[in-house]
Amino acid sequence: MTTPRVALGKHAPVTAAGHDDIHKKLEKVGKLFHVIYKILLIIWECVVAVVHNFAPLGFFPYKNIAGKTVLITGGANGLGRLIAERLADKGARLVLWDRDEKGLWDAKDALEKRGVTVHIRTVDMLNRQEIADAAAEARKEAGFIDILINNAGIGIGGRVVDVAEDAIRKTVELNTLCHFWMAKEFLPAMLSRNEGHIVSIASLGGLFASDQNMVPYCASKFGAVAIMEGLENETVCMGKDGVRFTTVCPSHFQTPLYDALKTNSDKKVMTVDEVVDWTVDGILREMRMVIVPRGKYIFYALKGILPRSVLLKLTTREAVANLNKQ
């Protein structure tokens, strides 16, 4: 009786089990390469982010806003007025809201001399109905709002146990809740067109509750930062990746709002011009987070990993030192 020959080596037939083994190995190799690719992509994006955060002014190209419509709350004076001037020089059309009627007319006259279109409206940002009415007027007169800059804010200082309840409510209403109302008025059109840009002028106090006598203010700014992060997450989950969000977090700079906080701080106070330089740079580069001064990016990155005891030493050392001098 003849014994059947068995094919050996490369001529051996591949069984179904062999096919499965090969397929599983290829699958594992594919997954490994995918993981490596993802890791490299994350590293690359981190490097790009660091370069963007620490690049000098004007290092990266700016988006073209000529003919675009920008709405700025608190646009009659201070930082809002300076942002308006810078964006006007870039060819933007402007819609300015403020409760200071005289300041609005002064701003309108000065800006129109630069050859730009300016719509103004006196608005009490603490009045939800006034916001709705002003928004309807802006949509009618100016059309689509390409860039919304939530700049209006209030600074009420003092220890929590000493600050009046009404003052705390006013701080949260203006610095936090208004972001909801403005988003409800202008975000739907941005989502419909999958384009637009929302900017929040928050504060470094929205990342670090570092100074004494500023708890209500910092809490309100933390809220603004959270709203911006949440809105961005929502739009991405909706597949609307054309809508941009920029949160600006400056440290102390010289404005009436800073004076009102009464922080008793010895820290160096920046000029409003320094802040507006980096604010406009961040807006025109569509940065997600703009921290001024830029060295605070490092502190922000360390916040999540440093022990609480170390953070307390860093954030309260000035106040404790002043207390010990008394």
pLDDT tens digit string along 287-304?
A: 999 999 888 888 888 888
The pTM of the full predicted model, rounded to 2 decimals, is 0.82
How many other C-beta atoms lie within 10 A of the C-beta of residue 114? 13
Q: Total structural domains in the chain?
A: 1
Is residue 39 one of the residues assigned to a domain?
no
Number of residues that this document lists for the chain = 326
Question: Where in the sequence numbering do the catalytic residues fall?
Answer: 217
Is residue 7 one of the residues assigned to a domain?
no
For 102, 252, 257, 314, the CA distances from 211, given in Å and listed in that order, are 34, 11, 15, 11
Is residue 3 one of the residues assigned to a domain?
no
- Nearest residue to 273 via CA among 62, 57, 128: 57
Better-predicted residue by pLDDT, 325 or 298:
298
**Span 228-236, mean pLDDT?**
97
Could you read off the pLDDT of 89-103 as tens digits, one per residue? Answer: 999 999 999 999 999
**Which pLDDT score is estimated for 13?**
60
Is residue 35 one of the residues assigned to a domain?
no
Domain carrying residue 151: 66-325
Residue indicated by tokens 């929590």: 160
Distance CA 12, CA 207 (A): 67
Instruction: Tell me if residue 37 falls in helix, strand or coil.
Output: helix
Distance CA 205, CA 225 (A): 10
Residue indicated by tokens 């209030």: 154
Dump the DSSP string for 197-217. Answer: EEEEE--GGGT---STT-HHH
Is residue 278 one of the residues assigned to a domain?
yes
Is residue 11 one of the residues assigned to a domain?
no
**Which pLDDT score is estimated for 257?**
58
Residue indicated by tokens 């220890």: 159
Better-predicted residue by pLDDT, 161 or 265:
161
Is residue 168 one of the residues assigned to a domain?
yes
Is residue 18 one of the residues assigned to a domain?
no
CATH number at residue 283: 3.40.50.720
